Every structure is written in structure tokens, then in C-alpha cells.
Amino acid sequence: MSGFLIGLAVGCGLLIALVRRRRSAIALFALQSLALGMGAIAVSTGYGESSLAAVALVLRGISLPALLALLRRRTPEPRPVAATLPVSARLLLVAGSALLAAAWLPDLGTGDRAAEQGAIALVAIGIAVVALRRPTLFQAIGLLIAENGAYLLAASIPGGVPGLIELGIAFDLVAITAVVIAFSFRIHRELGSGDTDLLRGLRD
Amino acid sequence: MAIRISCEVSVTDFPTVLVIALLAIPLLSAAGSFVVRSVRSADNLGRASALLTGGLAVGLAVAAIADAPGAVAAERWYVLDPLGGVFLALIGAVGTLSALNSHSFLDHASRGPASSRRARAGYWAALNLFWAALLAVPLADNLGIAWLLVEATTAASAVLITYSGKPAALEAGWKYVVLTTLGLTVTLLGIVVVFAASGADSIGALDWSALADEVSGMSAEAGLVAFVLIVVGLAAKVGWAPVHSWLPDAHSEAPPPVSALLSAALLPAVLLIAWRTKLALGGVLDDDSLRIPFIAFGLASLAVAVPFLWRPMPFKRLLAYSSLEHMGIIAIGIGFASPIAIAGVVVHVAGHGIAKSLGFYAATPLLRQTPAAATKPAVGLAGGSGSVALATGVSLFALAGLPPFPLFLSELMILLGGFEAGMPLAASATALLLALGFLGLAHALVEAMLGEPRTRRRPSRSARPLIVLTIASAALMLVLTVAGTMLLPGSELVEALGGGPS
């Protein structure tokens, strides 16, 4: 896959960990997902089976941000939820975890080292976003960034992973994303905010 | 002699028909629960379909185990082997009992959000979907499909965890969805690495039966990365420490029959995928690489669980931390992988499932009788309802690992297996942590039975079903102890589970 598109996807992930507004995070996630879809289409040219996966990735890149935008509109926040850590600390943690993950990963022999490292970096960024951002919508995007990492590696394999990407994406849209969005609505209805720090009743 | 049934399916295809029925019945029951017109009809449908499904699951499992070591249904879209059979029997039995016990919980909860027919239908639909996905996990002959099925369990069970509608349940459900989905994403990356690094060209390469051959061309480094990613990701769903934080919350906030399914069926089902992956990658990785992740997660889980088992805490939360401890023991046994340790794992999976589900089923009448037990430790049960005291007592007694119950035997076998595998340090550390965990649970047992009650109790309802369930569970556990001692060590079943002659 094109190094530029991989870099764009990783860069968008890093920025999502830093931006304040949910709208900006959704736009960056859309850009990341579409970059991934475009990259998959480029790789799949000439491979009939995997082009379906590439189309599925593009559709995912359109539909998921649309659903997230709907969620944002239906769960208004009076003001952006303050981050637990300042921007500089978040940048250090997120970029550091992505770099460490990429450095740890040995050569997997797929023939596309940039995609291998980009995939593991995106998974690390997704985990960091879930850990560092409090709003439910940011945590949902964190999950989806990590999934983008797995799909990046799958899409970079010549011939793709027949069936797995399509099934995974279909399942994402039908079940997991639906559940995550339903939870976000309920949390907002219950607490008047999507701030997960307000959900801190269960402690041992 | 070829016997044919009317739809031209020969007896050789009979297992396939049963497998389809096994998965179709709960799915149809889930849909049917929205069609029926009354709450009572929804309950009856749920119970009837559970009895059918459970019977099929146990029947198929017995056939699979009896045919060890060969797979009963190789070359098909599903796998019915001895390893899957053990888990299928457990998931089938626990699912049936959870469905039968749901009526009692739902009636008690009917003053709350479960009062409407729609809410009741939603409960039965989610329970059946969750159970159907769980039943399919040991039958899935493909790593990718097994991953999808585990994702499916997340969606259905998250709805059940938040069934009470309380903020604490919402918190538990959110934590569960986020952590386990994140873990499963890491597993997905590991699966893609397996596919990419093995040079496979079709999804069939991820079939359990083909995987060992497919990965033979893979480098050891890539194999290790894939294995670590898959096991670490699944650890979040099994609830192994340090990625376990959803487990105590979800188990304590879910309705008791759902808690039983989560603890006694979901955790082992996900663990099965990690175990199958270990067996499949055995040709690429050395023994230490295969053992260390399991033993590390196991010891970490024991070390995290023990301090909590020493603390006074609400009954369901105590059972949740006990799950963390027992999943840790099972992980250690799989890591040791000697014949005696594998025999111990089989006994432990079954014994833990019976003892833990009994504990959760006892929680419904316990919470009805003593509502304060939802937030405070259960104390002085012996002075109250005899059936609740008997059920909780038997459950805690067995979970503490006291003889003659099977967890005493299985823990002993796993420890001996560690020495047999040449890992005395890990076995000694396990023994120490088990002893500490035993003291914690034994203290909780004494307090729960003989402590001074702090709150008034409501009069209890008919106790007969719980007494029958307790006696049946105790008898089953005793049978398991005898069978585990007499039949398992050195058996073909254990050899088929990867505990071949050392």
C-alpha cells in the first residue's frame, strides 16, 4: 500500500488523540478510513476477490462517520469534555506507544513493511485513544482506529484475506457499532453527558 | 447398514442435522419471543427451547468425547472433536440451567424494567442469541469464524448486562463492550498476521484442521507475533489479569442467570480458542513460547484475585473474583500441557462451571431474601433459608477447592502436571497462590454461613427447585471427581487434547 496513505492514516489517528471537538475527531476518522479504502482499492487492482473487501472498506469509511455524526448531533454537549491530560502529554504517550509498537514488530514477511508497522501503530493509537479520552464518542472512535489497523494489514496483502474483511466489516456495522452507539445514547440520557468519568460507581 | 430418514439425509449426515438444529433452535426462539402475546408464553418458549437445545448439545458432546481421539465430523463446515465436546457439554448444560432459572429472576424483577412484554421478549431474545453464539464457538472449524462468534457474544451479552437499567449496570456494560472489543481487535490483527505470514490464499487456511499445515511455512518470529497478539487479545475477553477490569463489574451487575453464562460458559469458550491456537501453532513455535503467555496470564490472574478473595465483598462480586482465580488456574494447566495437567484442566473447566453456576443461581433467591446482599457481603445464611444456605455453601465449598469436590482434584493434578512438565518454580508459585486463595474463600464461606446477620430477611418462596439443583450439582461434581480420578489420566481423550505421552 502507498506509504503516503499509510502515513496519512497514522497521522489522522495521532490527531484524533489530540483534538478537543468531537466533530474534528469524526472528520479525521472519516479521512483515515477513506485513505485506507483508497489504499485497498489500489492494492486490489487485478485481484477480483479482494476488490470486494476494498469496496467494503470504502463503504465503511462513509457509513461509520455518518453514524458517528448522527450520534454527535443527538447527544449535544454544552461544552467539550476536558481531557485528563494536556495535549503535550497525550502526544508523547500516543506517539510513543505507536513508535514502540512499530519498533517491536519484527518483519512478518508480507512484503509491505510500511503496512505492517502502520497496522500495529494504528492498533496502539486506538488503545491509547480509548485509555486517554473520556467522551464515549472518542472511545468509540478509538475502537474503530484499532480496527482500521487490522484492516490496513489485511488490505495490504496481495489477494487480501478473502471473506474475513467483508464479514468483519458487516458485523462491525450491524452489531458492534450499533451496540456502542446505543450505549452512548443511554449514557448521555442517564448522565446528561458522554463523559465516561461520570461512570465511576464500581470500584473495589 | 445405511438407514435413511425421509429427507434423504443418511445417518452419516445425522450429526450435521443435529448441529444445524442446535444452532437454529435458540435463534428461532429469539425471534419467537417477540411474536408470542404474553409474558408467560415468552417464558414457556424460552424454557422449552432451552431444554431441547441443551439436550442436543450434551448429546453431541457425549458423541464427540466418546469418539476420542478422532474427530466425529471432520471435513465439514463445523468441527466436533473431543476438545470442543468438553466445552459444548458445559455451554449446553449451563445455558439450559440459566434459561430455566431466568423465570425466577424475571418474576422478581417484574416490578422494575422487566414488567413489559417487550422487555421480557428482549431478555429472552438476547439470552438466546448470546447462547447460540456461545454454542457455535466450540463447533466453529475456523479461527476467523470463531473470532466473529466471540464478537457476536459481546453484542448480545452487553444488552443483558445492562438489563436492570441501573447506572452501575450501564457502567459495567460500557466497560465490557470497550475492553473486550479492543481485545478482539488485537486478536483480529493476530489472525491477519497468521494469514499474511503463512502465504495462505483462502479463508479455509484458518480452519483448525488446516491451520497446523498452513503455518508450517511461517517464520518463527511471525508465528510468535501472531500467537502473542491472538492470546493477548483473547485475554481481555477471558478476563485474565491485567486486562480483567470488566469482569467483576459485569458479573456483579448482570442478572444472575446471565452471570452464570458469562462465568461458566463465555470465559471457557473464549479460552478454548486460545487453546486451539496454541495447539495449531505448536509446529512453528518452541514449547517455551507456547507456554509462557498462558502461565504468565495464569499467575497474574491468581495474584490479582487472591487479595480480593480475602476482602469482604458482595456475594456475586466474590464469585466474579473467584472466576478470575479459576480462569488463571486453567491457563496455567494449559501452559504446563503435561498429560496430568491437561486431565486437570478438563476436570477444572467442568467442575468450575457446575460450582460457579450453582452459586449464581443461588444469588437470585439470596438477593430476594436479603436485598442488602447486592452491595454488602452475605452473612449468616445458615440462620435463614435452608435452600439458599445449602446452595451457596456447596458452591463456595467446591470453589474453595475442598475435597471431595472436583476442583480439589483438578488443582492437585495441575500442580503435579507443572512438576511433570519440569516447571517447579511456576508450580510452586501456583501452589502458594492457590493456598492463599483457598484461605480467602474458606473465610468467606464461614462468614457467609455462620456470621451474624446484619439485616432483616424477607420470607423465602418455594425452595424445592434450588434444593434439587444443589443436590444434582453436588452429585454431578462427585461423579466428576471419581471420573477424573479413574478415567482421565492417560486416556485417549487427554492425549487428543494435546496432553500426549510425555
Query: Nearest CA to CA, how far is B311 from chain A (Å)?
Result: 10
B246 part of a folded domain: yes
Q: Locate cell 502465504: which residue?
A: B199
B3 part of a folded domain: no
Q: B117 pLDDT exceeds 90?
A: no
Q: B486 pLDDT exceeds 90?
A: no
Question: DSSP states of B129-156 as a string?
Answer: HHHHHHHHHHHB-BHHHHHHHHHHHHHH
Q: What is the mean pLDDT of residues A122-142?
A: 96
Beta-carbon separation of A164 and B144 below 8 A: yes
Q: Locate cell 433452535: which residue?
A: B25
Q: B105 pLDDT exceeds 80?
A: yes
Name the closest residue on chain A to residue B251, using Cα atoms: A202
Q: B32 pLDDT exceeds 90?
A: yes
Of A127, A157, A199, the CB nearest to B170: A199
Coil vs helix vs strand at B109: helix
Segment B317-348, tens digit of pLDDT: 999 999 999 999 999 999 999 999 999 999 99
At residue B3, what are phi and psi to the nearest 5 degrees?
-100, 130
Where a domain ends, among B100, B122, B139?
B139
Beta-carbon separation of A139 and B178 below 8 A: yes
Q: Locate cell 492457590: which residue?
A: B434
B460 part of a folded domain: yes
**CA end-to-end span of chain B:** 40
The whole-number pLDDT of residue B10 equals 42
Interface of B with A in 249-268 (CB under 8 A): 249, 252-253
Residue A192 or residue B265, greater confidence? B265
Which positions in chain B touch A64 (Cβ < 8 Å)?
Answer: none
For the beta carbon of residue B404, count every other beta carbon within 10 angstroms: 12
Domain ranges for chain A: 3-75+83-198
Segment B265-280, tens digit of pLDDT: 999 999 999 999 999 9
Question: DSSP states of B68-98 as a string?
Answer: TTS-TTTTSSB---HHHHHHHHHHHHHHHHH
Residue B109 or residue B322, greater confidence? B322
Residue B501 binned pLDDT confidence (cut-offs 50, 70, 90): very low
Q: What is the mean pLDDT of residues B66-89?
A: 76
CA separation for the pair B171, B246 (Å, rounded): 9
Q: B460 pLDDT exceeds 70?
A: no
Percent of chain A as helix, strand, coil, to the nearest 5:
75, 0, 25
Q: A165 pLDDT exceeds 90?
A: no
Beta-carbon separation of B196 and A157 below 8 A: yes
Q: Does B162 touch chain A (CB under 8 A)?
A: yes
- Cβ–Cβ under 8 Å, residues B75 and B12: no
Q: What is the mean pLDDT of residues B448-472?
A: 77
Query: Nearest CA to CA, how far is A62 from chain B (Å)?
Result: 20
CA separation for the pair B316, B250 (Å, rounded): 10
Q: B116 pLDDT exceeds 80?
A: no
Interface of B with A in 232-251 (CB under 8 A): 248-249
Q: What is the mean pLDDT of residues A34-53?
A: 79
Q: B74 pLDDT exceeds 60?
A: no
Name the closest residue on chain B to residue A169, using Cα atoms: B148
Q: B152 pLDDT exceeds 90?
A: yes
B433 and B376 within one domain: yes
Residue A148 binned pLDDT confidence (cut-offs 50, 70, 90): very high
Which positions in chain B touch A129 (Cβ < 8 Å)?
Answer: none
Which positions in chain A touch B252 (Cβ < 8 Å)?
Answer: 202
Q: B251 pLDDT exceeds 90?
A: yes
Could you tell me the CA-to-CA distances from B317 to A54, B104, B196, B256 in Å, in that order? Answer: 45, 20, 42, 11
Name the closest residue on chain A to residue B152, using Cα atoms: A175
Residue B452 binned pLDDT confidence (cut-offs 50, 70, 90): confident
Residue A146 binned pLDDT confidence (cut-offs 50, 70, 90): very high
Q: What is the mean pLDDT of residues A139-162?
A: 88
Provide the grid cell at B168. Answer: 452501575
The whole-number pLDDT of residue A204 equals 66
Q: B201 pLDDT exceeds 70?
A: yes
**CA end-to-end span of chain A:** 47
Which positions in chain B touch A152 (Cβ < 8 Å)?
Answer: none
B296 and B430 within one domain: yes
Where a domain ends, among B106, B139, B172?
B139
Provide the grid cell at B48. Answer: 422449552
Name the closest residue on chain B to residue A186, using Cα atoms: B170
**Which class for A198: exposed (0-12), middle (13-18), buried (19 or more C-beta within 10 A)?**
middle
Q: Does B302 touch chain A (CB under 8 A)?
A: no
- Cβ–Cβ under 8 Å, residues B257 and B99: yes
Residue A152 binned pLDDT confidence (cut-offs 50, 70, 90): very high
Q: Which of B150, B189, B202 is most worth mutating to test chain A (most A CB atoms within 10 A of its CB)? A: B189
The whole-number pLDDT of residue B214 equals 85
ipTM: 0.94
The whole-number pLDDT of residue A27 equals 97
Question: DSSP states of B389-431 as a string?
Answer: HHHHHHHHHHHTT-TTSHHHHHHHHHHHHHHHTT-HHHHHHHH
Residue B416 binned pLDDT confidence (cut-offs 50, 70, 90): very high
Q: A201 pLDDT exceeds 80?
A: no
Show the domain range for B188: 143-284
Query: Is the four-CA dihedral A100, B245, B299, B143 of positive or negative sign?
Result: negative
Q: B311 pLDDT exceeds 50?
A: yes
Beta-carbon separation of A167 and B148 below 8 A: yes
The whole-number pLDDT of residue A74 equals 92
Residue B106 or residue A102, greater confidence? A102
Which positions in chain A touch B195 (Cβ < 8 Å)?
Answer: 154, 157, 161, 164
Residue B455 or residue A91, greater confidence? A91
Beta bridge partners of B78: B140
Instruction: Please tell me the total count of domains within chain B.
Output: 3
How many residues are recorded in chain A? 204
Segment B355-414, tens digit of pLDDT: 999 999 999 999 888 888 888 888 888 777 788 999 999 999 999 999 999 999 999 999
Q: What is the mean pLDDT of residues B146-165?
A: 93
CA separation for the pair B86, B63 (Å, rounded): 11
**pLDDT over 90 percentage in chain B:** 68
CA separation for the pair A51, A40 (Å, rounded): 8
Where a domain ends, among B117, B139, B161?
B139
Provide the grid cell at B302. Answer: 491468581
* R_g (Cα) of chain A, nearest Å: 17
Q: Nearest 5 degrees, angle CA B397-CA B354-CA B360?
A: 75
Residues 6 or more apart whose Cβ sits within 8 Å of residue B163 = B109, B113, B114, B123, B126, B169, B254, B255, B258
For the beta carbon of residue A159, count every other beta carbon within 10 angstroms: 18
The whole-number pLDDT of residue B385 equals 73
Q: Which helix (H) or strand (E) holds A174?
A: none
B4 part of a folded domain: no
The whole-number pLDDT of residue B336 equals 96
Which positions in chain A touch B232 (Cβ < 8 Å)?
Answer: none
Coil vs helix vs strand at B208: helix
Provide the grid cell at A115. Answer: 503496512
Could you tell me the CA-to-CA distances from B282 to A13, B31, B211, B384 in Å, in that order? Answer: 36, 42, 10, 53
Of A110, A130, A180, the CB nearest to B196: A110
Q: Nearest 5 degrees, angle CA B209-CA A161-CA A137?
A: 115
The whole-number pLDDT of residue B495 equals 79
Nearest to A154 by CA among A112, A93, A99: A112
Nearest to B391 by CA among B409, B364, B351: B364
B126 and B161 within one domain: no
Query: Nearest CA to CA, how far is B338 from chain A (Å)?
Result: 31
Name the closest residue on chain B to residue A107, using Cα atoms: B222
Nearest to B174 by CA among A99, A90, A184, A20: A184
B258 part of a folded domain: yes
Q: Which of A57, A64, A108, A120 is most worth mutating to test chain B (most B CB atoms within 10 A of its CB)? A: A108
B2 part of a folded domain: no
Name the closest residue on chain A to residue B321, using Cα atoms: A204
What does the H/E/C string look like for B316-340? HHHHHHHHHHHHHHHHHHHHHCCHH
The whole-number pLDDT of residue A41 equals 87
Of A143, A159, A178, the CB nearest to B181: A143
**Which range, A140-154, B208-222, B384-398, B475-489, is most confident?**
A140-154
**Which class for A44: exposed (0-12), middle (13-18), buried (19 or more C-beta within 10 A)?**
buried
Which positions in chain A touch B221 (Cβ < 8 Å)?
Answer: 106-108
The whole-number pLDDT of residue A48 equals 56
Query: What is the number of CB-based contacts under 8 A between chain A and chain B?
Result: 136
The whole-number pLDDT of residue B463 equals 74
Could you tell me the CA-to-CA distances from B288 to A15, A188, B238, B271, B337 in Å, in that order? Answer: 40, 48, 22, 19, 11
Convert B205-236 to b/e letters by CB count within 10 Å (16 or more is b): bbbbbbbeebbeebeeebbbbbbbbbbbbbbb
Q: What is the mean pLDDT of residues A124-130?
A: 97
